Amino acid sequence: MDGVSTGVRATARLGARSDGRGGTALPVLEGEGPLALRRTRGSGDRARVMLVGAMSGPLGGDHFTVEAEVTERARLHVGSAAATIALPGQHKDGARYDVRLTVADGAELLWLPEQLISVAGSDLAVTTHADVGAEGRLVLREEQVLGRAGEEPGRLGSRLVVRVGGRVVLDQELSCGPGAPGGWDGPAVLGGHRAVGQLVVVRPEFAERPVAARMLGDGAALMPLAGPAALVTAVAPDALRLRRLLDAALTDLG
């Protein structure tokens, strides 16, 4: 970690494997600086970990990385203790937040962090890469809130890439806030809403029984992806409504 000249550099690493007794062990659970990992009470054979922000941020110039690997027969649920808040900092450079997820065949990962809030004056680029085996399972949720109450958003760029069995099934980008390409707040993108989210669900059974594309209430849509995966996208006026839409979508998928 180096906060002297270029902002804070911090990495958290998480590894899950079968314990051989029907449960999940966590041989790798390492965090540094503002990224702390805490094991909490799991459910059945699924381990549970919380990502705890020990400091504010990311600030301008910071670069955070979170890596998680789930091996065969392991089951893991990862959440976060609170929202991630992108803030302006002393450095003129933008901040980066990279997430790298690997899920093996026969493994399961529920990646369900709290929302990311883009504060006025901040500049953050988020990238999430998920590699899932052809027989792996993934539930991945992303929620982004543009500005706090009564506040304009900062600059926020996000990219989400999902591979299943080595094949790219999703590669999408979104840029919002000052300096983003024109039209990001228009009817073709956010339509004036200030909360946007994605839910990616990968299940082997989707290969033979793909989901049907359909609307899921006001502001959410479900779409099949190439391969055993589905995507829900949603926009809402606030974080609470967005979470309700995504929760309802996950329930709808069963």
DSSP string, 80-130: ESS-EEE---SSSSPEEEEEEEEE-TT-EEEEE---EEE-TT-EEEEEEEE
* CA 234/CA 221 separation, integer angstroms: 7
Angle subtended at Cα 117 by Cα 75 and Cα 51, rounded to the nearest 5 degrees: 30
Mean pLDDT of the chain: 90
Residue 188, pLDDT > 70, answer: no
Q: What is the SS3 assignment for 239?
A: helix
Give tens-digit pLDDT for 197-212: 999 999 999 999 999 9
pLDDT greater than 90 at residue 118: yes
> For position 228, what pLDDT does the model report?
96
pLDDT tier at 217, thresholds 50, 70, 90: confident
The model's pLDDT over 143-163, given as tens digits with 9 standing for 90+, comes to 999 987 778 889 999 999 999
